């Protein structure tokens, strides 16, 4: 029996991951902690608590995920996403545990204009991406058996996300202005959670990209959400990132190539539109 610790178990991905791990790896003990149980900004506490539990695998998905918030509060972004990850990595290495770390497409600058592969050089444009990249580097430096999973554009049942925000805004407004110059792959947290579980079962090591297949802009994603939800009275206006004027710069193109996942585990991620249909069915 292995003991698996999930740090960040009450977040959007965390809740789905806990369920998937309980059902897909029977016999393993799965422990879920979030900020009430462990504040990863406190290095000593974090290391002591994790060492005491002696997990065989640490899945670290806790993060400061507000991309614009990170831009305005660089100190907190690095304290949680970089230093916090360093503390978890330190603890994992002391326990000789495997460490799984969730990272982001925002480690890339988007200049490539074709799907990013695991060995492409990162060059983050915003503080969130910089802090998550620093987290990756801490994991690589401290943990022998590590698995870094980069993903993107997450939505799920248990957190604020783009899909729920579009559905809510469509009830209140007759027009929606949505950014049309950023391209990526929307990813359902249930599909990601299953892929994380598969990668662990295969004993995968190193960096992997995991996202639903296919690509779109936020605007075409928004239009599809409205169509699939049967909303046709809302007018969608495509706008540029510049017009939206968010504090954090996002890459114009950050699609993740997932061939390595398929080659090493046989798993193909389904198209984002199919996953979205499933999510909307579950939501209703």
Ligand X SMILES: NC(=O)c1ccc[n+]([C@@H]2O[C@H](COP(=O)([O-])OP(=O)(O)OC[C@H]3O[C@@H](n4cnc5c(N)ncnc54)[C@H](OP(=O)(O)O)[C@@H]3O)[C@@H](O)[C@H]2O)c1
Instruction: Judge residue 266's burial from the number of C-beta atoms within 10 Å of its C-beta, 0-12 exposed, 13-18 middle, 19 or more buried.
Output: exposed
Near ligand X in 188-247, by CB under 6 A:
none
106 annotated active-site: no
Among 159, 214, 257, 271, the residue binding ligand X under the rule CB under 6 A is 159
Distance CA 11, CA 20 (A): 14
Among candidate residues 106, 116, 128, 279, the one labeled active-site is 128
Question: Rg of the Cα trace of the chain?
Answer: 19
Distance CA 96, CA 98 (A): 7
Of residues 14 and 122, the one with the C-beta less far from ligand X? 14
Q: Count CB-CB contacts under 10 A for residue 112.
A: 17
Residues 6+ apart with CB under 8 A from 112: 120, 253
Q: Is 102 in the site for ligand X (CB under 6 A)?
A: yes
Near ligand X in 19-58, by CB under 6 A:
34-35, 38-41
Residue number of the CB atom closest to ligand X: 11
Near ligand X in 117-136, by CB under 6 A:
132
Of residues 160 and 262, the one with the C-beta less far from ligand X? 160
Among 20, 154, 163, 255, the residue binding ligand X under the rule CB under 6 A is 154
CA angle 64, 94, 43 (to 5 degrees): 35
The contact set with ligand X (CB under 6 A) reads: 8, 10-14, 34-35, 38-41, 61-65, 80, 84, 102, 104, 132, 151-154, 159
């Amino acid at each position: 029996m292995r003991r698996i610790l999930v740090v960040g178990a009450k977040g959007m991905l965390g809740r789905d991951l806990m369920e998937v791990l309980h059902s897909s790896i029977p016999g393993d003990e799965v422990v879920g902690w979030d900020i009430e149980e462990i504040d990863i900004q406190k290095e000593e506490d974090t290391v002591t608590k994790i060492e005491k539990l002696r997990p065989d695998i640490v899945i670290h998905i806790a993060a400061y995920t507000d991309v614009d918030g990170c831009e305005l509060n660089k100190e907190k972004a690095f304290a949680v996403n970089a230093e916090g990850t360093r503390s978890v990595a330190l603890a994992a290495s002391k326990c000789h545990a495997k460490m799984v770390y969730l990272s982001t497409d925002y480690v890339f600058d988007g200049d490539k204009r074709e799907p990013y592969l695991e060995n492409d050089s990162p060059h983050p444009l915003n503080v969130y991406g910089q802090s998550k990249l620093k987290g990756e580097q801490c994991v690589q430096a401290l943990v022998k058996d590590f698995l870094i999973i980069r993903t993107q554009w997450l939505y799920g049942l248990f957190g604020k996300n783009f899909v729920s925000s579009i559905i809510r805004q469509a009830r209140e407004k007759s027009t929606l202005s949505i950014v049309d110059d950023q391209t990526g792959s929307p990813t359902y947290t249930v599909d990601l959670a299953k892929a994380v579980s598969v990668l662990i079962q295969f004993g995968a090591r190193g960096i992997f990209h995991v996202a639903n297949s296919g690509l779109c802009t936020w605007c075409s994603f928004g239009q599809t959400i409205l169509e699939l939800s049967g909303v046709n009275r809302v007018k969608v206006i495509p706008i540029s990132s510049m017009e939206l004027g968010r504090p954090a710069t996002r890459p114009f193109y950050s699609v993740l190539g997932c061939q390595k996942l398929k080659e090493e585990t046989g798993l193909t991620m389904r198209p984002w539109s199919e996953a979205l249909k499933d999510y909307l069915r579950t939501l209703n």
